[in-house]
């Protein structure tokens, strides 16, 4: 008998414990429990401690109110230019009404996935491949608007839709890579050509400026040289007119220049001065009357031997030059005679001049002052 009583007491205690467990519900934060009483919606349990009627109230669904992320598998979509591309999408949503999410649709997540696929095919079907690859923001906004409008009556709000990847066929990817490679090579070639063009322009500008500067420097140099030569000629002219040299001095300078005139290597014309004899005679007279002339006489005592030697050397040089000129004239006449058989008519050859005749027969020695 006691055993039966103990068994009854145990069963009662177990029933009380089970009843307490079924009547008490603790709801976590950002969760809602939908409660039904005898199969009908009764209420929504909020976060915290809640008490239910045992064996009458039951929890239908547990709804998470946090924002959730769902990645859908790749979906094949045909573009307007009849290319099949594979598109991956990512969906961000959250439940704002647990009752509607429970009773308005059986599986809102599957419904959102199918709605996303159909909307995506509709949007991509109106775009070609190039625009589909570059219009992701526009596609995202269109998908978000359609899904938000449709899922609002389900108690679900779509916060964001992102296209994770758009994969064209392998052949199209190869063509795109070749196109991009060709575009990069074209840009590189254009940039290289532009660089070479700028370099050539800069080099030409530099050469131009250098040529202008060199020409200006040459012009300035020639101007300065001309000015220097003009100044030197003016100074010599002024000095000559100031000194007022006599004809004897000029004749002496003329005789000193004769060896240089006759010494030309590239001369093809033989010049026989007509004034040669007169110049020699003038020099002889000048040397003969050098000491007697008051204007040309030096103030100090002259060295007679030095004057004689200098006069003899000048006369000898003049005679040698005249002799060489005469020989060249005779040689030219012989060549002309041998070529034509006739003697050419030219200038008469001057008579040989000896150094003794230059000094004069009367004034062979200069007088001492």
Last residue of a domain, which of 63, 88, 105?
A: 63
Residue 198 domain-assigned (yes or no): no
Q: Is the pLDDT of residue 200 over 60?
A: yes
Together in a domain, 262 and 355: yes
Rounded CA gap, 120 and 89, in Å?
9
Together in a domain, 270 and 333: yes
Nearest to 143 by CA among 66, 67, 63, 75: 75
Please provide the average confidence, as pLDDT, over all residues in the chain. 76
Together in a domain, 81 and 57: no
Q: In b/e form, how buried is each residue of 71-95, taking b as 16+ CB within 10 angstroms?
A: ebeebebebeeeeebebebebebeb
Rounded CA gap, 227 and 220, in Å?
10
For 72-93, how does the pLDDT look when each residue is reduced to its tens digit (9 = 90+)?
Answer: 888 888 888 888 888 888 989 9
Both tokens assigned to 164: 């994770």
Of the pLDDT bands very low, low, confident and very high (cuts 50, 70, 90), residue 361 is very low
Both tokens assigned to 73: 């598998």
Q: Which domain holds residue 168?
A: 68-172
Together in a domain, 9 and 50: yes
Residue 321 domain-assigned (yes or no): yes
For 263, residues 6+ apart whose C-beta sits below 8 A from its C-beta are none
For 160, residues 6+ apart whose C-beta sits below 8 A from its C-beta are 91, 92, 140, 144
Last residue of a domain, which of 63, 91, 112?
A: 63
Whether the CB-CB separation of 133 and 105 falls below 8 Å is answered with no
Q: Is the pLDDT of residue 96 over 50?
A: yes
Local structure of 72: helix, strand or coil: strand
The residue count of the chain comes to 369
Angle, helix 276-288 to helix 247-262, in steps of 10 degrees: 130
Both tokens assigned to 275: 């004034």
How high is the pLDDT of residue 250? 65
How high is the pLDDT of residue 260? 67
Q: Supply the CATH number for residue 118's domain.
A: 3.30.479.30
Together in a domain, 345 and 275: yes
Together in a domain, 76 and 45: no
For 325, residues 6+ apart whose C-beta sits below 8 A from its C-beta are 262, 270, 271, 272
Residue 185 domain-assigned (yes or no): no
Both tokens assigned to 246: 């006599």
Residue 178 domain-assigned (yes or no): no
Please state the pTM of the whole predicted model.
Answer: 0.46
For 108-127, how does the pLDDT look when each residue is reduced to its tens digit (9 = 90+)?
Answer: 888 888 888 888 888 888 88
How high is the pLDDT of residue 318? 66
Number of compact structural domains in the chain: 3
Q: Is the pLDDT of residue 214 over 70?
A: yes
Rounded CA gap, 138 and 163, in Å?
11
How high is the pLDDT of residue 367? 40
For 279-305, how does the pLDDT look when each residue is reduced to its tens digit (9 = 90+)?
Answer: 555 555 555 554 444 344 444 444 556
Whether the CB-CB separation of 287 and 359 falls below 8 Å is answered with yes
Residue 112 domain-assigned (yes or no): yes
How high is the pLDDT of residue 257? 67
Q: Can you spell out the DSSP letters for 280-298?
A: HHHHHHHHHTTTT-TTT--
Together in a domain, 143 and 110: yes
Q: Can you spell out the DSSP letters for 40-55?
A: EEEEEEPSEEEE--TT
Whether the CB-CB separation of 274 and 250 falls below 8 Å is answered with no
Whether the CB-CB separation of 362 and 288 falls below 8 Å is answered with yes
* Radius of gyration for the alpha carbons in the chain, expressed in angstroms and rounded: 65
Nearest to 28 by CA among 70, 62, 79: 62
């Amino acid at each position: 008998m006691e055993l039966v009583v103990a068994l009854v007491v145990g069963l009662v205690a177990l029933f009380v414990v089970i009843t307490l467990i079924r009547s008490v519900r603790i709801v976590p934060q950002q969760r809602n429990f939908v409660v039904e009483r005898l199969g009908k919606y009764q209420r929504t349990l909020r976060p915290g401690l809640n008490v239910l009627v045992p064996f009458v109230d039951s929890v239908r669904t547990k709804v998470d109110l946090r924002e959730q992320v769902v990645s859908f598998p790749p979906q094949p979509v045909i573009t307007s230019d009849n290319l099949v591309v594979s598109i991956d999408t990512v969906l961000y949503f959250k439940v704002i009404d647990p009752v509607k999410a429970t009773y308005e649709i059986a599986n809102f997540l599957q419904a959102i996935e199918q709605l996303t696929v159909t909307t995506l095919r509709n949007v991509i079907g109106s775009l070609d491949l190039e625009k589909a690859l570059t219009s992701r923001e526009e596609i995202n906004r269109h998908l978000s608007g359609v899904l938000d409008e449709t899922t609002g009556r389900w108690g679900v709000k779509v916060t964001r839709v992102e296209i994770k990847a758009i994969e064209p066929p392998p052949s199209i990817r190869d063509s795109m890579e070749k196109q991009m490679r060709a575009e990069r090579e074209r840009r590189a070639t254009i940039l290289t050509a532009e660089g070479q063009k700028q370099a050539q322009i800069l080099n030409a500008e530099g050469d131009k400026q250098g040529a202008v500067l060199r020409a200006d420097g040459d012009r300035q140099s020639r101007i300065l040289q001309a000015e220097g030569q003009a100044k030197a000629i003016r100074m010599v002219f002024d000095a000559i007119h100031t000194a007022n040299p006599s004809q004897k001095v000029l004749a002496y300078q003329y005789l000193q220049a004769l060896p240089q005139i006759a010494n030309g290597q590239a001369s093809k014309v033989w010049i026989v001065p007509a004034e040669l004899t007169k110049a020699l005679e003038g020099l002889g007279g000048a040397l003969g009357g050098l000491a007697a002339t008051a204007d040309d006489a030096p103030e100090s005592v002259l060295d007679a031997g030095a004057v004689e030697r200098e006069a003899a050397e000048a006369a000898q040089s003049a005679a040698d030059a005249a002799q060489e000129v005469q020989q060249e004239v005779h040689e030219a006449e012989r060549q002309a005679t041998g070529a034509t058989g006739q003697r050419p008519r030219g200038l008469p050859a001057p008579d040989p001049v000896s150094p003794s005749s230059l000094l004069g027969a009367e004034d062979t020695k200069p007088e001492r002052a």
